[in-house]
């Protein structure tokens, strides 16, 4: 990877500085370029570069990629070797703006020291003459793929597993950045600044707002940079921290899973109100809500802590005289439309699988899709006759009550996942036993407990510590039902 330092020299401008360089093994590591000289006239600023234009005799512009607050980004090709790269130059009056140049230089300096698949590779930083004006040029790896902003605009919505994978990967990128010495803050995380590679890996781009937590000697004070809706309050006050990046990530994923910008969820007090029901369900919904807490101390203490909250840890399960560690299965909640929702599609299919008939309830050890034999029907007829018809009436009432209860949850309930605590048999009627399953689940960092009766033929497949899908009603003290069928 070749890096070229700008020519040595002293230039007029707002400040005077020398090019500081360190040679290691004959390679020049640029730390700071002298400021760009002031333009000879207010209009002597570089215009956008046309395709075919050469930059520094080393790169040829292919096409524009985008424009930020102070820089143009282009797709370019190295004249020697033909490598396709992303080339970034200051645009317009930003060429002669000290703060814009400082941010641009800082972006290059930070990228130079990073080595992570979720961050574009630094190639070089040099100065070139563009239209009679000297301007800084940053060359980086070109990451080919759609941005999350494009995914939101073009659709279709991502599947819950894809959203979960993206969140885990980006939390890994932030963990890498925040654990550098000193920690590195991105300060402008939003859908447009996340590009997804062909293999599904996300890359955090546009480090134009990047900042080290500790400023270098002589570096000016904090600059409020970022994007409205994705910035927490403390960042507006110039007090960004790693928790500010976590907030921006939460806002980015709120936009991704709802298709609506964070500003649509802004309450009168400036807080982002996360809907009780999101298409991705729990635990992702709870993680997003905690990332968007207005107070930094109420968010996760680190990106690593947020990542661990999304991953099911190994849990001890008693087996005989010893205790074995087994991985708790990761269960994603059923993807449902926001409440109130019609009983259609996946919701209707799951409702049908759970709303057992009175015949299924009378023989709870038999799988719902198993065919009944002659003896099964004979026993039902026999006991119905002996009980003068009371047996079927009792189970008809149980089935009807169960269907009515489930219908409300499928219409208004919030999907989530719960951890099984224990099981116990429960008599229903006429010696028929169901299994009562006790469980707990978390919503916005708070633990709620519940229990539900399940057919033994289904409950026998589960073990304490495993996870099941649930629907809960926040307005009814988090009353809940289990909706897992396997």
The full DSSP string for 165-198 is HHHHHHHHHHHHHHTSSS-EE-----GGGEEE-T
Structure tokens at 249: 């990530």
* Among 109, 111, 121, residue whose Cα is nearest residue 30: 109
Tokens of 123: 């190639």
Q: What is the pLDDT of residues 270-282, one digit of tens each?
A: 788 888 888 887 7
Nearest to 478 by CA among 435, 441, 453: 441
Looking at 205-209, 337-341, 391-395, which range is the least confident one?
391-395
Cis status, amide bond into 327, omega within 30 of 0 = no
Q: Does residue 361 have a pLDDT over 70? A: no
Closest CA to 417 of 457, 450, 455: 450
Residue 381 pLDDT grade (very low, low, confident, very high; cuts 50, 70, 90): low
Bridging pattern class, strands 446-454 and 467-473 = unpaired
Angle at the Cα of 222 (from 92 to 211), degrees rounded to 5? Answer: 80
Residues 47-99 have pLDDT tens digits of: 678 999 999 889 999 999 887 667 788 999 999 999 999 998 876 555 556 66
Q: Give the DSSP letter of residue 332.
A: P
Report the chain's C-alpha Rg in angstroms. Answer: 30
Which part of the chain has CATH 2.40.50? 346-482
* DSSP letter, residue 267: -
> According to the per-residue pLDDT averaged within each range, which of 272-286, 359-373, 391-405 is highest?
272-286
Task: Please report the pLDDT score of residue 67 as a whole number.
Answer: 77
Q: Is the pLDDT reported for residue 369 higher than 70? A: no
Q: What percent of the chain has a predicted confidence (pLDDT) above 90?
A: 22
**Residues near 55 by Cβ (< 8 Å), separated by ≥ 6?**
49, 61, 76, 87, 89, 128, 130, 137
Instruction: List, by residue number, the catalytic residues.
Output: 188
Q: What is the pLDDT of residue 334?
A: 64
Question: What burial class does residue 340 get, using C-beta atoms within 10 Å of its C-beta: 0-12 exposed, 13-18 middle, 19+ buried?
Answer: exposed
Can you give the pLDDT at residue 85? 95
Question: Are residues 101 and 33 in contact, defined by beta-carbon separation less than 8 angstroms?
Answer: no
* Mean predicted confidence (pLDDT) in 410-414: 88
148-310: CATH topology is: Transferase(Phosphotransferase); domain 1 (1.10.510)
Contact status, residue 65 vs residue 123, Cβ threshold 8 Å: no
Percent of the chain clearing pLDDT 70 (strictly above): 69
More confident residue, 133 or 475: 475
Q: Looking at residue 318, what is its pLDDT? A: 38
Higher pLDDT pick, 436 / 346? 436
Note the pLDDT of residue 209: 58
Per-residue pLDDT band at 37 (split at 50, 70, 90): very low
Min mean pLDDT across 6-20, 66-80, 150-164 is at 6-20
pLDDT digits (tens, 9 = 90+) for 243-253: 999 999 999 99
The 3-state secondary structure of 348-393, one letter per residue: HHHHHHHCCCHHHHHCCCCCCCCCCCHHHHHHHHHHHHHCCCHHHH
**Mean pLDDT across the chain:** 75
pLDDT in the model for residue 225: 59
pLDDT tens profile 108-148: 888 888 888 899 888 998 888 877 777 888 899 999 999 99
Question: Which pLDDT band, with edges at 50, 70 and 90, does 388 fall under?
Answer: very low
Q: Which residues, 6 or more positions from 299, have their beta carbon under 8 angstroms from its beta carbon?
A: 243, 246, 247, 290, 291, 292, 293
The region of weakest confidence among 115-119, 404-408, 433-437 is: 433-437
pLDDT score of 396: 63
What is the three-class DSSP state of 401? helix
Query: 341-345, 364-368, 414-418: which has the minimum mean pLDDT?
Result: 364-368
Measure the CA–CA gap between 344 and 337, rounded to whole angstroms: 10
Dihedral angle, C-alpha 448, 442, 338, 254, nearest 10 °: 150
Q: Is the Cα torsion angle 108, 110, 113, 117 positive or negative in sign?
A: negative
CB 256 within 8 A of CB 158: yes
| Distance from C-alpha of 9 to C-alpha of 418, rounded to nearest angstrom | 65
User: What pLDDT is stored for residue 317 in this prediction?
Assistant: 38
- What is the mean predicted confidence (pLDDT) over 10-37? 36
* CATH T-level assignment (fold) for domain 346-482: OB fold (Dihydrolipoamide Acetyltransferase, E2P) (2.40.50)
Output phi, psi for 353, to 5 deg: -70, -25
The tokens for 448 are 């709620």
Instruction: Provide the pLDDT for residue 431.
Output: 59
Distance between CA 483 and CA 76 in Å, rounded?
53
Q: Residues 6 or more apart from 336 whose CB is under 8 A from it?
A: 277, 279, 281, 346, 347, 410, 415
pLDDT at 435 over 60: yes
**pTM, full prediction:** 0.56
Q: What are phi and psi of 382, to 5 degrees?
A: -60, -50
pLDDT at 199 over 90: no
Q: Where does 20-141 sit in CATH, by number?
A: 3.30.200.20
- The H or E element containing residue 315 is strand 314-319
Q: Tokens in use for 65? A: 């990629």
Half-sphere exposure of 299 toward its Cβ, with a 13 Å CA cutoff? Answer: 24
> In the chain, which segments carry CATH 3.30.200.20?
20-141
């Amino acid at each position: 990877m070749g890096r070229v330092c700008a020519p040595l020299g002293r230039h007029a401008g707002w400040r005077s500085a020398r090019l500081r360089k360190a040679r290691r093994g004959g390679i020049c590591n640029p730390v700071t370029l002298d400021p760009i000289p002031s333009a000879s006239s207010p209009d002597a600023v570089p215009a956008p570069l046309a395709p075919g234009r050469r930059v520094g005799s080393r790169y040829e512009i292919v096409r524009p990629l985008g424009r930020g607050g102070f820089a143009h980004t282009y797709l370019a090709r190295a004249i020697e070797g033909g490598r396709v790269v992303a080339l970034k130059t200051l645009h317009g009056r930003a060429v002669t703006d000290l703060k814009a140049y400082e941010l641009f230089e800082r972006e290059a300096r930070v990228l130079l020291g990073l080595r992570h698949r979720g961050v574009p590779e630094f190639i070089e930083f040099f100065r070139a003459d563009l239209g009679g004006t000297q301007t800084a040029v940053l060359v980086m790896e070109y990451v080919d793929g759609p941005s999350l902003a494009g995914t939101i605009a073009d659709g279709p919505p991502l599947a819950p597993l894809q959203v979960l994978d993206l969140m885990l990967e980006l939390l890994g990128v932030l963990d890498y950045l925040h654990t550098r010495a000193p920690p590195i803050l991105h300060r402008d995380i939003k859908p447009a600044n996340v590009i997804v590679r062909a293999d599904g890996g996300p890359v955090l781009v546009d480090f134009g707002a990047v900042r080290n937590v500790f400023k270098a000697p002589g570096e000016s004070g904090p600059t409020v940079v970022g994007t409205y809706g994705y910035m927490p309050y403390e960042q507006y006050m110039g007090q960004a921290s790693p928790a500010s990046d976590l907030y921006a990530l939460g806002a980015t994923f709120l936009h991704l899973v709802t298709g609506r910008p964070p500003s649509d969820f802004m309450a009168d007090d400036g807080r982002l109100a996360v809907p009780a029901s999101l298409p991705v369900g729990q635990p992702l919904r709870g993680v997003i809500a905690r990332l968007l807490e207005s107070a930094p101390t109420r968010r996760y203490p680190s990106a690593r802590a947020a990542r661990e909250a999304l991953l099911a840890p190994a849990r001890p399960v008693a087996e005989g005289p010893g205790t074995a560690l087994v991985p708790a299965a990761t269960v994603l909640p059923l993807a449902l439309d926001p409440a109130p929702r019609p009983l259609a599609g996946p919701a209707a299919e799951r409702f049908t699988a759970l709303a057992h008939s009175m015949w299924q309830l009378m023989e709870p050890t038999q799988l719902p899709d198993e065919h009944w034999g002659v003896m099964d029907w004979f026993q039902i007829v026999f006991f119905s006759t002996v009980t003068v018809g009371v047996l079927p009436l009792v189970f008809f009432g149980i089935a009807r009550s169960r269907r009515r209860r489930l219908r409300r949850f499928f219409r208004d309930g919030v999907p989530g996942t719960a951890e099984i605590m224990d099981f116990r048999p429960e008599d229903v009627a006429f010696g028929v036993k169901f299994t009562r399953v006790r469980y707990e689940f978390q919503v916005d960092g708070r633990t709620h407990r519940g229990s539900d009766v399940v057919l033994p033929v289904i409950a026998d497949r589960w073990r304490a510590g495993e996870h099941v899908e649930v629907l809960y009603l926040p307005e009814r003290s988090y009353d809940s039902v289990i909706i897992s069928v396997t």
